A and B are shown apart, each in its own frame.
Chain A
Amino acid sequence: MKKLDILAAVAVGLLALSASHGPTTAKDKVKVGFIGSLTGGTSANGLGGRNSADLAVRLRNADSKAKYEYEMVALDDECKPNIGVQVATKLAADREIIAAATHYCSAVAIATVDTYHKFRLPVVVWGAVLPDITYRNKYPEVHRVNGTMINQNELNASLLTKLGYKRFAVIHDTTDYGKGHFKYFGEALSKAGGTILGSFGVTSDQQDFTAELTQIKSLNPEVIYFGGLTPIGVRIRAQMDRLGLNNIVLDGTSGIKSDAYIQGLGKLAEGSLSFLEGAPAERLPGGKFFLEKYNAQNYPNPPEAYGAFAFAAMNLILDAIEAHGPDRKKVQEALNKTSKANSIVGEITFDDHGQNTVPIITAYVVQDGQWVVWEDSEYAQGKRKLPGQK
């Protein structure tokens, strides 16, 4: 029975721990939500987004003019649609949550829009780029601050054809993200005057790409266009090196624009391209402010590519709540009417589908272990040349 006593003591101790709560404040508490991929292969972006949205909430709470005190509920969708629907239901069914910034993964975002519509929860998508998320249905609850893959690929195709590249091979993952990119890149490229020699769909957890890359080698392209996310991007670039394909440009999409890509590849990352909506945080109107504040909070992970969007999305939500009170319907109407709203990612205007119509897209290239804006890079200035560039 001595054992029982010890166990009882431990249990009491744990209960006492759980009973301690933070101090209360005079302001009304309002809850907002955040969903992203906090675990798994794309967790770097999810955590960056989570921290950035958290930053928006903390800054607002520190602002003495704010009418409410905000609490952010962050949930993990694991980048899996079935889990996404589950956590979306959890957020949306909780009437205390007024609005949410949701999803980095397109596959999850497209699966959950019906849930938000059903439960009438206004959301602002902060990272997923599949056009259908806003355009397949006309749900007044769904908004998106970032641009779509259509805009990304138009710039991608025009930049590369201008540099003199004509022959492309495509590797894309077979998710919505990869297939969508392939489709819109193909359309943009045929307008810009390039040709696709061959395309290869791969699953998003494939480890070995020797078969695809060997075939690509025999097609002799100048560029490998890669539509997919960082984990397989790293593998493909590393295996290109092993097969001696270093005279080919790796032309990526927004999916590889993460610090993890460079960390995974080291020197091999040099010269890889990526395209992303908005402009780098440093160049945005409020970018310097954002990075300063972000670094001041000492988050363990960087904001990554979409952090600024998560920050802007959360700020839009907080602004709407400040102006119209914590009421889902009113917040949704306010978000629908968003026009020329100032944010750190530039002016935001939603069209009738809730899509931000001011898509700034920026091209990036890896130079000396960093993603550098194309126009600022030594590649654009002619000091360095991309593989095979004339």
Chain B
Amino acid sequence: MTGKSKTSVASILPGAVTLVLATVYLIVLLRVENQATILALLGVGIAAVVMANWLGWFASVGQSFGEREGPLGLLAVGLAVVVAGYFHGDHFVLLLLCTVLLYTLATLGLNLQFGFAGVLNFAGASFFGIGAYTAAVLNEHTSIPHLFVLLIGGGMAALIGSLLLLPVLRTRGHYAAVVTIAFALLFKTFLEVNDLLGGPQGLQVKSMVLFGWSFNNNIEIGSLELSFYFAYFIASVLLLVGAFILVRRLERSWIGLNLDALRLDETAAQCFGLNIVRWKVTAFLLGNFLIGVAGTLQGFVTGFVQPNSYTFADSLIFVSILLLGGIGNPWGVAVATIIVVIVPEKLQVIQEYRFLLFSSLVIMVLLFRPDGLLPRSVRNYFPGWRP
């Protein structure tokens, strides 16, 4: 017994240390405002990652995550709360963290479609927008409890997404991509000419209210004042944890196996008796549901929905998060979202040159890690089992 617990402690250590170091780094990065410090810090971060790669530390980290994912996941959630707790009064940082969590959630949905089933979706931001608009409309005209609004938002995204089912099922590869791109353009134009939905000026979204408590008020516990974004942060964390577990379980189950088979070789999968249509539909709708839920909460968080926030370019951001993180790996998605959302924001200090620097950074990453930062590993059904 003691021997087993010893090895489990040893195997959890590299992952835990990495998580803690990353958290400390994130807090420092979010804290500093000085131009030179930020650039130096980013340089140090890149150097540290390159160095760790060089010294082969990532293999043990990967192994640690592979074997002890549960406890490490819990630790990650705890550390996210620590980061938010550290910035408890800072509205802006919490808004940024909410954005990171919700983008991660949405990209998990995309991961399901893209990474598992191989169904291309270049309209991620549109389904995100459907959720946000659902929040705006339901909040304005009905008194449906907001917890249900989240689910309805996801449901609407899945429902409207089902309009695309027929063309997506009848096309493959690049052609399916074009169908979704067309939908993204159509969606934005539809919103712009639709005056009922506010036209190009968009709609205001009122505060989220759960159990009679309005999310848009600052929270006061004794003398401690928390930003009102803290409540949204907690809600985002809960949603993300739920989605993460769902995606992980799906991947582990025979559904995930079917989806993988579908992606790798449709014909072969069909020969083995898999119902292609059924699994494509499952992945597409479920993915859109997750994206829609994320969008709904995002609508509440920003308090404003507008067609310009859900353009094709925004869909590409989701896709680039997925590619940067490593297709199929939910952990990679989380890391990539932090990079894609927080780094351009911190680069505000260099103003007009920031996207130049940020884009070169992304290209460099993909140059040296063409499979993304954390490529998906082979399924591991038995923790600790090594072939």
User: A179 contacts the other chain (Cβ, under 8 Å)?
Assistant: yes
Q: Are A4 and B200 in contact (CB under 8 A)?
A: no
Q: Are B306 and A18 in contact (CB under 8 A)?
A: no
Which of these binds chain A: B90-98, B147-155, B270-278, B319-327? B90-98
The total number of A-B Cβ pairs within 8 Å is: 109
User: A175 contacts the other chain (Cβ, under 8 Å)?
Assistant: yes
Complex Cα distance, B303 from A94, in Å, reads: 19
Chain A: CB-nearest residue to B352: A38
Query: In the complex, what residues of B have CB within 8 A of residue A205's CB?
Result: 311
Query: In the complex, what residues of B have CB within 8 A of residue A4's CB?
Result: 51
Q: Are A18 and B354 in contact (CB under 8 A)?
A: no
Complex Cα distance, B140 from A374, in Å, reads: 48
Scan A131-157; emit 1 where CB is below 8 A from any B CB, else 0: 010000000000000000000000000
Scan A253-271; emit 1 where CB is below 8 A from any B CB, else 0: 0000000000000000000
| Residue from the list A11, A76, A107, A111 in contact with B44, Cβ < 8 A | A11
Q: Are B47 and A89 in contact (CB under 8 A)?
A: no
Which of these binds chain B: A78-86, A311-319, A382-390? A78-86
Which of A14, A20, A43, A75 has the most chain B CB atoms inside 10 A of its CB? A14
User: B192 contacts the other chain (Cβ, under 8 Å)?
Assistant: yes
Q: Are B47 and A86 in contact (CB under 8 A)?
A: no
Q: Are B51 and A7 in contact (CB under 8 A)?
A: yes
Query: In the complex, what residues of B have CB within 8 A of residue A7's CB?
Result: 47, 51
User: A214 contacts the other chain (Cβ, under 8 Å)?
Assistant: no
Query: In the complex, what residues of A have CB within 8 A of residue B92's CB?
Result: 86, 89-90, 93-94
Query: In the complex, what residues of A have CB within 8 A of residue B43's CB?
Result: 10-11, 14
Query: In the complex, what residues of A have CB within 8 A of residue B314's CB?
Result: 82
Scan A151-170; emit 1 where CB is below 8 A from any B CB, else 0: 00000000000000000000
Query: In the complex, what residues of A have CB within 8 A of residue B162's CB?
Result: none
| Residue from the list B185, B193, B355 in contact with A201, Cβ < 8 A | B193
Complex Cα distance, B306 from A201, in Å, reads: 17
Query: In the complex, what residues of A have CB within 8 A of residue B104's CB?
Result: none
User: B345 contacts the other chain (Cβ, under 8 Å)?
Assistant: yes
Q: Are A76 and B352 in contact (CB under 8 A)?
A: yes
With A17-B40, A107-B200 in contact, do A114 and B352 touch (Cβ < 8 Å)? no
Chain B: CB-nearest residue to A20: B36
Complex Cα distance, B8 from A374, in Å, reads: 80
User: B53 contacts the other chain (Cβ, under 8 Å)?
Assistant: no
Chain B: CB-nearest residue to A78: B355
User: B258 contacts the other chain (Cβ, under 8 Å)?
Assistant: no
CB distance from A310 to the nearest CB of B (A): 15
User: A47 contacts the other chain (Cβ, under 8 Å)?
Assistant: yes
User: B279 contacts the other chain (Cβ, under 8 Å)?
Assistant: no
User: A15 contacts the other chain (Cβ, under 8 Å)?
Assistant: yes
Q: Are A203 and B185 in contact (CB under 8 A)?
A: yes
User: B348 contacts the other chain (Cβ, under 8 Å)?
Assistant: yes
| Residue from the list B34, B44, B302 in contact with A82, Cβ < 8 A | B302
CB distance from A91 to the nearest CB of B (A): 8
Q: Are B90 and A86 in contact (CB under 8 A)?
A: no
For chain A residues 95-146, which have a beta carbon within 8 Å of chain B? 107, 110-111, 114-115, 118-119, 130, 132
Q: Are A107 and B91 in contact (CB under 8 A)?
A: no
Q: Are B304 and A111 in contact (CB under 8 A)?
A: yes
User: A174 contacts the other chain (Cβ, under 8 Å)?
Assistant: yes
For chain B residues 176-231, which have a beta carbon within 8 Å of chain A? 185, 188-189, 192-193, 199-202, 204, 216, 227
- Tally chain A residues at the interface, Cβ within 8 Å: 45
Complex Cα distance, B37 from A43, in Å, reads: 26
| Residue from the list B44, B54, B96, B201 in contact with A86, Cβ < 8 A | B96
Chain A: CB-nearest residue to B345: A86
Complex Cα distance, B51 from A114, in Å, reads: 46
Complex Cα distance, B99 from A82, in Å, reads: 10
Chain B: CB-nearest residue to A14: B40
User: A39 contacts the other chain (Cβ, under 8 Å)?
Assistant: yes
Complex Cα distance, B298 from A86, in Å, reads: 12
Q: Are A80 and B308 in contact (CB under 8 A)?
A: yes
Q: Are A76 and B351 in contact (CB under 8 A)?
A: yes
With A7-B51, A80-B309 in contact, do A89 and B95 touch (Cβ < 8 Å)? yes
Complex Cα distance, B195 from A165, in Å, reads: 31
Q: Are B47 and A10 in contact (CB under 8 A)?
A: yes
CB distance from A13 to the nearest CB of B (A): 9
CB distance from A46 to the nearest CB of B (A): 8
For chain B residues 1-41, which have a beta carbon within 8 Å of chain A? 34, 36-37, 39-40
Q: Are B91 and A89 in contact (CB under 8 A)?
A: yes
Complex Cα distance, B40 from A16, in Å, reads: 10
Query: In the complex, what residues of A have CB within 8 A of residue B47's CB?
Result: 7, 10-11
Q: Are A76 and B99 in contact (CB under 8 A)?
A: no
Query: In the complex, what residues of A have CB within 8 A of residue B95's CB?
Result: 86, 89
Query: In the complex, what residues of B have CB within 8 A of residue A111's CB?
Result: 202, 304, 306
| Residue from the list B193, B204, B309 in contact with A114, Cβ < 8 A | B204
CB distance from B309 to the nearest CB of A (A): 4
Scan B336-367; emit 1 where CB is below 8 A from any A CB, else 0: 00000000010010011011000000000000
Query: In the complex, what residues of A have CB within 8 A of residue B216's CB?
Result: 118
Extra 14 A-B pairs, beta carbons < 8 Å, given A17-B36, A110-B201: A3-B54, A17-B40, A18-B36, A39-B354, A75-B348, A76-B352, A80-B309, A81-B202, A81-B308, A82-B306, A86-B95, A111-B202, A118-B303, A179-B199
Question: What are 20 A-B pairs at a CB distance below 8 A?
Answer: A11-B44, A14-B43, A17-B40, A18-B40, A76-B348, A76-B354, A81-B202, A82-B314, A86-B95, A86-B345, A92-B91, A94-B92, A110-B202, A118-B303, A119-B91, A176-B199, A176-B201, A179-B199, A201-B192, A203-B185
Closest 8 CB pairs of A and B: A93-B91, A82-B309, A14-B40, A18-B36, A174-B192, A90-B92, A18-B37, A81-B306
Binding site for B on A (CB under 8 A): 3-4, 7, 10-11, 14-15, 17-18, 20, 38-39, 43, 47, 50, 74-76, 80-82, 85-87, 89-90, 92-94, 107, 110-111, 114-115, 118-119, 130, 132, 174-176, 179, 201, 203, 205
